[in-house]
Amino acid sequence: MARAVYKSRKTGILYYPVDDKSGVIQNTTPRLAKSITSKYIRMAGSEVVEDLEENHALNLSLSHIQSISYIVGRLAEKKENEIVYSLPKFNEEIATVAIGMDGTCSFVGNSGWRETMVGTISLYNKYGDRLHTIYVAQAPEYGKEQFKLRMTKEIKEIIKTVPSSAKYVGIADGAKDNWTFLKSFVEIEIVDFYHVTEYLAKASKAYNFKNQDKQKEWLESACHILKNDEYSALAILEEMKELQKKKSLSKQVRKDLTSAITYFTNHSKQMKYSEAIANNLPIGSGVTESACKVIVKQRLCLSGARWSHCGANNMLRLRAINSTDGRWEEFWDKLVG
């Protein structure tokens, strides 16, 4: 179809007004671009090439597929501050907003393996059932500024939407930077229960180094009272301090025990699990931990994968949109419309 083309004198970039208005992406219709991008954010590029040829009779080069997905990712970045996503319709009131953040390693750019950040905002009903989760992911960056800005935007939109009576809970591991950010938005802080049990498992060797059954018994007892007794974290801390007085502890066991004591000393106020359970609040960051694997690891860490920082960011942004119920369709509706 004949159409007007404009070229910038400064950059030499071509601009096609008709293509822009109709949503055409790299000479590809919005519907096909959506299909290609949807496949590419789930599968390795070579698999997408095979899939399109075998199932859709389309012979597209890998570079063309990557180019389309790259442009879609940049459009998602460009429109991120313009698009306000709507929440799904719920038949029950949102009682709790749980905000979590965590990092996982991925190989990006020339910097090698570095921390890639993932954030989750989960909505729960009064019974503690998770209704919806919003995902945010960001390629490695020093200071995590862009990740925090994007999380802040999502949190502020939630604050506008959910009932004012909803409780805001922060759930994360013990990393100081996580809590520096979360403190600004939450009224209840809960350090992830699973991370706590990892410290207790190591500390159990100080209770009885030779007998694994005794270690398991002590660990199970500690976890039980931690979830059921109000001041159990302080009680366990004092017990571990008593174990520290044993002269027979090996160097490694003493080191692990000291690490657990430090962790409990720093985070005992965030271990009010019995109170959280009584109020149907989440005590684990499993949603965020899972997102690290599903959004980051499953795609960025495929065998032989190599990512530029921009390419990784595009991929993570699109995978986060796709993983959040309802957003993929809404993103394309607003991109084309």
- Sorted by where each begins, the domain ranges of the chain are 6-78, 96-190+287-323, 194-276
pLDDT in tens, 244-283: 999 999 999 999 999 999 999 999 999 999 999 999 999 9
In this prediction, residues 54-82 reach a mean pLDDT of 93
Q: Strands 167-172 and 96-107: what pairing?
A: parallel
pLDDT higher than 90, residue 335: no
Contacts of 315 (CB under 8 A, 6+ apart): 41, 69, 73, 299, 300, 307
Helix (H) or strand (E) holding 119: strand 113-124
Residue 191 and residue 208 in contact, taking contact as beta carbons nearer than 8 Å: no
Model confidence band, residue 23 (pLDDT cutoffs 50, 70, 90):
low
For the segment 105-164, what is each residue's pLDDT rounded down to a tens digit? 998 887 788 999 999 999 999 999 999 999 999 999 999 999 999 999 999 999 999 999
Q: Which CATH number fits domain 96-190+287-323: 3.30.420, 3.40.190, 3.30.450, 3.30.70?
A: 3.30.420
CA 116/CA 272 separation, integer angstroms: 29
Average pLDDT of the chain is 93
Across 30-53, average pLDDT = 95
| 3-class DSSP string for 193-242 | HHHHHHHHHHHHHHHCCCCHHHHHHHHHHHHHHHHHCCCHHHHHHHHHHH
